[in-house]
Amino acid sequence: MPLGVTAVVVLAAGAGTRMRSSLPKVMHPLAGRPLLWHALTTARGVQPEHLVAVIGHGREAVGAYLAATLPDVDTAIQDQQLGTGHAVDCALAVLGPLTGTIVVTYGDVPLLRPETLVALATEHTDRGNAVTVLTARVVDPTGYGRIVRDAAGEVIGIVEHKDADHAQRAITEINSGVYAFDAAVLADGLSRITAANAQGERYLTDIVGIARGDGRRVGALVADDATETEGVNDRVQLAAMAHALNARLVRTAQLGGATILDPQTTWLHADVVIAADATIHRNTSLEGGTTVAGGAVVGPDSTLVDCRVGADATVLRTHAEGAVIGERATIGPFSYLRPGTVVGPGAKVGAYVEVKKSTLGPGAKVPHLSYVGDATIGAQVNFGAGSITANYDGVHKYDTVIGDGAFIGTNTTLIAPVTVAPGGFTAAGSAITDDVAAGDLAVARGRQTAVAGWVGRKLPTSVMAAAAALAGTPEDHVTGTAPAAGSVPTTPEQPGTSSTRPGKALPA
Ligand code: UD1
Ligand code: CA
């Protein structure tokens, strides 16, 4: 059923002085989005034909944000904050003459749910009201406008705290500042309100009394949950609302089938999507547009920003931004994935590994202590411990390409641009400057030489000399470990026979 809401006006021109911030209040983030985004997202819930934000303080920043992120939102400029009535005037000047229902809400009330705004609009239409106010019952109404009702319980007006008498200040039903108005009643009321009050402002709230005085139907909807109607005025409230909103987001994910073991320490941004049967462990932040597929396990102690985690992947103690993690992939512990990282299905990024703008093919492994930047790594590649891509010469970045099934020996430095063809092999400790052909072994390291008895001669009083003496006479060690030429094995590696490992000895 259409709600008949022609426009939602979101008031966001105030200074937000108590935030003590150079950032406009409505731009402060909550769950990864500015306060104003939350207000506008809720406003969309009543499917208005027009959505207009009234901006003033910090309007360059707020206007630029809206133009870039929510271009369908109209903006009205309120140069001076002359009151909530004046602010709505500014919005109507942009919108032009309207009929139907106009909803007014605030840009700094981020917990208001679309369902509540829909209930307000529905109540307004069903009752044929001229004005319907969203109210709340609170323990401490100090500072709020009070809802004044007659003996029959009908709303007859709203009186601001500063204008209220003693008896009115005892009223605990407050005005949330969210309303549904008949457009004609709103326009007429705005033309009649004055600034003859304690604050010298044009109060939007006065329209309630004006409509009632004209004999029109004025109603109220009492919010089920007063916290929904609370505004942010300082950073203490901002943090409290962050907790409240997070609890809501966690609960929604849980009810959707995600296992979230520690809601207190799991932080979710508003746009995050967690599939059923995903598991999130403690101390984990999922931010931006992160998505987690079913069966995936994320955390503990992980932060993922704008990442996609595939089904059955594992992400442990990891910081990742802009990464795509394939299904069954395993990440961490202590991995750092930077933007442009694509980890293929079943691939592994292990401890103390940083990956930037690189693709790992299916089943590829970068298990320990590596940097992979600007690289394309094929399927089933083993990228040995401590190996890195040297992708930067101080001015330019260069690419590294490693073909399927290649083996990058421990502590290989791949000096980009360089290519290792499929099945290529680099010897441990090599600095690879030239392309490696398919199936070749590339060895690029100095030969080991032994200087017999050096320790005993040069450091005769040292621990090393004493240990060497205990181990045997220097004459026992004169040959060192360099193998004779021609000792490169021709048989496959045998377990436990390290002397026969391919690449251990230098080829002749
Ligand atoms: C207003 C209501 C009060 C209600 C309370 C709920 C009026 C006169 N009073 O009081 O009944 O209980 O909200 O929080 O409406 N704004 C503008 N331009 C202006 C003035 C305000 O855009 O000229 C915006 C502010 O940025 C803010 C909202 O309107 O988002 C409310 O303004 P604020 O000054 O906080 O109103 P209150 O005095 O708290
Ligand atoms: Ca306020």
Report pLDDT for 2.
Answer: 77
Segments of the chain scoring below 50 in pLDDT: 479-494, 496-498
**108 within ligand 1 shell (Cβ under 6 A):** yes
Residue 496's DSSP bridge partners are none
DSSP string covering 327-370 = TT-EE-SSEEE-TT-EEPTT-EEEETEEEES-EE-TT-EEEES-
Helices and strands of the chain, counted as H and E runs? 10, 41
Q: How many other C-beta atoms lie within 10 A of the C-beta of residue 153?
A: 7
Both structure tokens of 128:
């044929």
Establish whether the linkage from the previous residue to 345 is cis, with ω within 30° of 0. no
Find the catalytic residue in 166, 368, 396, 477: 368
Report pLDDT for 472.
Answer: 83
Please return the burial class of 126, using the count of CB atoms within 10 Å of its CB with bins 0-12, 13-18 and 19+. exposed
Report pLDDT for 491.
Answer: 46
Q: Are strands 146-149 and 155-159 parallel, antiparallel or unpaired?
A: antiparallel
Report pLDDT for 473.
Answer: 62
Q: 3-state DSSP helix/strand/coil percent for the chain, to nearest 5?
A: 25, 30, 45
**145 within ligand 1 shell (Cβ under 6 A):** yes
Neighbour order of strands in the sheet with 302-305: 266-268, 284-287, 302-305, 318-321, 335-337, 353-356, 371-373, 388-390, 413-415, 431-432
Please return the burial class of 422, using the count of CB atoms within 10 Å of its CB with bins 0-12, 13-18 and 19+. middle
In angstroms, the CA 138 to CA 305 distance is 38
Determine contact, residues 5/221, Cβ cutoff 8 Å: no
**pLDDT tens digits along 97-141:** 999 999 999 999 999 999 999 999 999 999 999 999 999 999 999
**107 within ligand 1 shell (Cβ under 6 A):** yes
- Tell me, yes or no, if 368 is annotated catalytic: yes
Atom of ligand 1 nearest to the CA of 15: 26
Atom of ligand 1 nearest to the CA of 83: 23
Report pLDDT for 501.
Answer: 62
Residue 351's DSSP bridge partners are 368
> How many angstroms is it from 198 CA to the middle of ligand 2?
16
Pocket test for ligand 1, best of 35, 38, 55, 84 (most atoms within 8 A of CB): 84
Establish whether the linkage from the previous residue to 502 is cis, with ω within 30° of 0. no
Q: Atom 35 of ligand 1 has which residue's CA nearest to it?
A: 14
> How many angstroms is it from 177 CA to the middle of ligand 1?
7
Report pLDDT for 149.
Answer: 98
**75 within ligand 1 shell (Cβ under 6 A):** no
> How many angstroms is it from 87 CA to the middle of ligand 1?
9
Residues listed for the chain: 508
**106 within ligand 1 shell (Cβ under 6 A):** yes
In angstroms, the CA 177 to CA 183 distance is 17
In angstroms, the CA 396 to CA 214 distance is 74
Both structure tokens of 304:
């993922």
* Closest CA relative to residue 167, chosen from 196, 137, 146, 140: 146
Report pLDDT for 504.
Answer: 64
pTM of the model: 0.91
